[in-house]
Each structure stands twice: as structure tokens, then as C-alpha cells.
Structure 1
Amino acid sequence: MCRHLAYLGPDIPLGVVLGDPEHSLVRQSWAPRRQRYGTVNADGFGVGWYAAGDPVPARYRRAGPVWGDEGFADLCRVVRSGAVLAAVRDATFAGADGEAAAAPFASGPWLFSHNGAVRGWPDAAAPLASALPVHELLELAARTDSALVWALVLHRLRQGDDPGTALAEAVRELAAAAPGSRLNLLLTDGASIAATAWGDSLWYLPAHPSGRVVVASEPYDDDTGWCEVPDRTLLTATRTRVALIPLKESTL
């Protein structure tokens, strides 16, 4: 369920990676090619981007399908950035959270997205939620599994974990508490990307001499340079390098 994408590189109009490619994230909202769970990503979408000189990203999110939002098309045509994270949300059960449930979630310099589902939600995740400080629970953006996953990751970031460790440890905790969960996570601070492949597809375009790297749920075109990330893997990337580290489930 869901599709997401992160880009680091030279400043470009957002549409170059989000709307223009033949199999762009916008098209993936109704015709994904490699989505294993769900079929239509119509329950919200969002994009976050960074402007030069400002470490805090801007966001544009809506509760409906991306294909019907003319404002998003205009935004993608004129806004330029060298760091972007965007997502389209799988059609799911009715809820009152609206656009608050749409990624990217944000705090300070961070943008975050979760592609997947916590199995047995919410009961299976209750022990992890109860271990968070009360004020962090009260800050939850929405009453969804993705919002709690973000809270777990953000708690680790605030405690000083680097992005890769924050994602990896959150995934291990969630997988132990809720076996069978799908936990593809995507995180950026505008200078680096961290992501996990855990139960769904994840691909990347390797770092390019121009200083560009893309990480996405699935390729947005037929470029032969796309590489699939093996399941149970942590990916970390900057504009000049990509590293893959195998993940093991917690034995606790």
C-alpha cells in the first residue's frame, strides 16, 4: 500500500520527478506497476521540499486523490528544489484524520513517509506506544499506524540516533511486536536519505556525477540504471553515494 519517493540533487521543478515521467508518482496513484498490496492510492497525498537557506521544509498535503488536484499540478510546474519527499496514500477505511494522515510527516528538518501496515493495529503496537513519553503521544499527527511509526522514529532521532539507526531500530521493534508488518520507511533532512525495505518494493537510482540520487517505491521510468533494494535492507544515501546494509529481526 502507498507509494513514495525521495530526491536529492540539483534544483529542478518538482514535476520533473513527480509528474513528468511516464510512470511517475502521480501515475502510480492509479496505475502502480510493482505495488504488492492495494490497488489505488487515492486516500491522500503530499509533497515536502526544501528551499535554499532554510533547513525546515515546506509541505503541501491533501486528503483526496492527487490526480484531481489542479493546485498540485501548478505547484509542481513552478516550485524548484534540490531535496524532495512525496507520497500517495493507499485507499483504506474511512477515517476522520483527512490530510493529517497523509505523508510526509514532519518535524524540524525531517520529512518522513511509511509505505506498509502494522499488522494487528492498534493492539499489537500498544506496548510500543505506551513506552513513549506522554507529550510525544499527544503530538501524534493522526490516529494511524504510520503516525505512530513516525513517532517511534522521531523519538530516536531526538535521543541522538543517526537516521539509519533510528529507522532500523524502529523497524526491528515493530516487527517484533507485530510480526508480518510491512515497514518500508523513508526519511530525509534535505541532505541525506535513509530508507528501509521490509515487506514491499524499494528501488533507487544510484548516485550520479551531477550529485543526484533517487529512492522510490518503484521506478518512475524505464531507465536501466534503477536498482532494486533487497527485502530486509537499510538504505542510506547522499547526493554522491548509496549504501545498503542487511537488517535482521530482533531476537527479543
Structure 2
Amino acid sequence: MCRHLAYLGPPVALGEVLNAPPHSLFRQSWAPRRQRHGTVNADGFGVGWYADGDPVPARYRRSGPVWGDASYADLTRVVRSGALLAAVRDATLAGADGEAAAAPYAAGPWLFSHNGAVPGWPGSLASLVPALPAADLLSMEARCDAAFLWALALHRLRTGDEPAQALADTVLDVAAAQPAARLNLLLTNGETIAATAWGDTLWYLADPGGGTVVASEPYDDDPRWTEVPDRTLLAASRTDVLLTPLKEPAE
């Protein structure tokens, strides 16, 4: 469920990355090619981006389908950035959170997205609640599984974990509590990207000219797209991509 994408590279109009490619994230909202769970990503969308000289990203999120939002079309046509994270949300159960449940989630310099699901939520992750300070639980943006995963990862970031380690440890803790969880996580601070492939597709495109895209699926048929194996941690910059296998949690 869901599709997401992060980009680091030369400044471009957001739409060049999100809308222009033939199988863009925009098109994936109704016609994904590699989505294994769900078929229509119409229950919200969002894009976060960084402006020169400001480490705190801006966001534009809505609760409806991206194809019906004229303001999104204008925004992505004129706003330029060298770093962004965007997501379209799979059709899901009705809830009161609306826009707040749409990725990317944000705190300080960070943008975060979750592609996947946690069966049995929220009871299946009740054992992980004591790992979070009460203030972190009370300040969650939404009451969905993705927001809770973000709270877990953000707590690790705030206590000093590197981005890739924060995602890896979050995935292993959640998978131990709910082995059926699908946990493709995506995180950026505008300078690096960290991601996990755990139960769904993940790909990356590294341009020798100095750009990196990490996405749920390729947005075009460029042969340089590389699939990330399942149970893998990805750490990327504008010029390098490092893949590290993730071990299954201990029984």
C-alpha cells in the first residue's frame, strides 16, 4: 500500500520529479505498476521540500486524491528544490485524521514516510508503547500505524542514532512485535536518504551527474534503476548508495 519517493540532486521544479516522468508518482496514485497491496492511492498525499539556506522543510498535504488538487499542480510547477520527499496514500479505512495521516511526517529537518501496513494495529504494537516518552505519544500527528512508526524512529534520532540505524532498529523492533508487518520506511534531512525494503518494493536511481532517487517503483524505464532486495537497509547521498542486509529479528 502507498507509494513514495525521495530525491536529492540539482534543484528542479518539483513536478519534474513527481509529475513529468511517464510512470510518475502522480500517475502511481491510480496506476502503479509494481504495487503488491492495494491498487488506488487516493486517501491523501503530500510533498515536502527544502529551500536553500533553511534546514526545515516545507510541506503540502491533503486528505484527498492528488489528481483532484489544482493547487498541487501549480505548486509543483513553480517550486524548485534540490531535495524532496513525497507520497501518495493507499485507500484505507475511514478515519478522523484526514490530512494529518498523509505523509510526509516532519520534525525539525526530517521528512518521513511509510509504505506498508501493520496488521492488528494498534493492539499488535502495544508492547512497544513503553519505549516512547509520554510526550512523544501525545504529540503524534495522527493515530495510524505510520505515525506511530515515525514516533519510534524520531525518538531514536533524538537520542543520537544515525538515520539509517534509527530506521533499521525501528523495523526490527516492529517486526519482532508483528512479524506480518510490511515496513518500507523512507527518511531524509535534505542531505541524505535512508530507507528500508521490508515487505514491499523499493528501487533507486543513481545519476553520475550528482542525483539520487529512491522510490517504491521506477518512474520511467531507464535501465539504471536498481531494485533493492527485500530485508535491506539503504543509505544514500547525492553521489553514493550503500545497501546493507537486515537480519530477521530473533524469535
1:15 aligned counterpart, secondary structure: helix
- The residue aligned with 1:243 is 242
2:137 aligned counterpart, secondary structure: helix
1:51 aligned counterpart, secondary structure: coil
Residue type of the partner of 1:81? S
Structure 1 CA distance for aligned equivalents of residues 156 and 181 of structure 2: 20
Structure 1 CA distance for aligned equivalents of residues 108 and 222 of structure 2: 34
Map of 1:111-150 to 2, 5 A cutoff?
A: 111-150=111-150
Cα distance, 1:232 vs structure 2: 0.1
Residue segments in structure 2 that go unaligned for 5+ positions in a row:
none
Structure 2 CA distance for aligned equivalents of residues 131 and 120 of structure 1: 19
Cα distance, 1:91 vs structure 2: 0.2
1:210 aligned counterpart, secondary structure: coil
Map of 1:65-80 to 2, 5 A cutoff?
A: 65-80=65-80
Residue 226 of structure 2 corresponds to residue 227 of structure 1:
yes
Residue type of the partner of 2:171? V
Residue type of the partner of 1:51? A
Structure 1 CA distance for aligned equivalents of residues 174 and 248 of structure 2: 10
Cα distance, 1:211 vs structure 2: 1.2
1:146 aligned counterpart, secondary structure: helix
1:140 aligned counterpart, secondary structure: coil
Structure 1 CA distance for aligned equivalents of residues 131 and 161 of structure 2: 17
- What per-residue deviation string (whole Å, max 9, x for no partner) do you get for residues 100-147 of structure 1? 000000000000000000122111111112321000000100010000
Map of 1:1-252 to 2, 5 A cutoff?
A: 1-206=1-206, 208-251=207-250
Q: TM-score, normalised by structure 2?
A: 0.99
Q: TM-score, normalised by structure 1?
A: 0.99
Cα distance, 1:243 vs structure 2: 0.4
1:17 aligned counterpart, secondary structure: helix
- Contact 1:119–1:179 at 8 Å: present in 2 too? no
- Contact 1:6–1:83 at 8 Å: present in 2 too? yes
- Contact 1:153–1:167 at 8 Å: present in 2 too? yes
1:39 aligned counterpart, secondary structure: coil
Q: What RMSD in Å do the two structures reach over aligned CA positions?
A: 0.7
Structure 1 CA distance for aligned equivalents of residues 22 and 204 of structure 2: 17
1:129 aligned counterpart, secondary structure: helix
Structure 1 CA distance for aligned equivalents of residues 28 and 243 of structure 2: 25
Structure 2 CA distance for aligned equivalents of residues 5 and 75 of structure 1: 17
1:11 aligned counterpart, secondary structure: strand
1:31 aligned counterpart, secondary structure: coil
2:112 aligned counterpart, secondary structure: strand
Structure 2 CA distance for aligned equivalents of residues 112 and 196 of structure 1: 12
- What per-residue deviation string (whole Å, max 9, x for no partner) do you get for residues 68-103 of structure 1? 000000001000000000000000010000000000
1:186 aligned counterpart, secondary structure: strand
- Contact 1:42–1:64 at 8 Å: present in 2 too? yes
- Contact 1:129–1:148 at 8 Å: present in 2 too? no
Cα distance, 1:210 vs structure 2: 2.0
Cα distance, 1:250 vs structure 2: 1.8
Structure 2 CA distance for aligned equivalents of residues 136 and 222 of structure 1: 42
Structure 1 CA distance for aligned equivalents of residues 169 and 15 of structure 2: 33
Residue segments in structure 1 that go unaligned for 5+ positions in a row:
none
- What per-residue deviation string (whole Å, max 9, x for no partner) do you get for residues 141-173 of structure 1? 001000000000000000100000000000000
Structure 1 CA distance for aligned equivalents of residues 6 and 137 of structure 2: 27
1:215 aligned counterpart, secondary structure: strand
Residue type of the partner of 1:188? T
